[in-house]
Structure 1
């Protein structure tokens, strides 16, 4: 189930998570960092 959740988050945000657990603070910080980068870049966490 974790891979499906990680893929759903990637599809929704464009941020790829490769380490568990995927906590809301990790998602928030990754989105904040991704906003500072170019929109065509995928961020890998």
Structure 2
């Protein structure tokens, strides 16, 4: 399991096999980022406290 991925890939594989699912399709930018372990929150670099 890759350390950046926020879920158990082994469990996901097992569940997909149990239900006979061959393909998992992620269609939104946020779903793809989550599945690949990408950033969960976007923070603008130029934001300053007032």
What TM-score, normalized to structure 2? Answer: 0.30
Whose strand fraction is larger, Structure 1's or Structure 2's?
Answer: 1
> Larger C-alpha radius of gyration, 1 or 2?
2
More helix per residue: 1
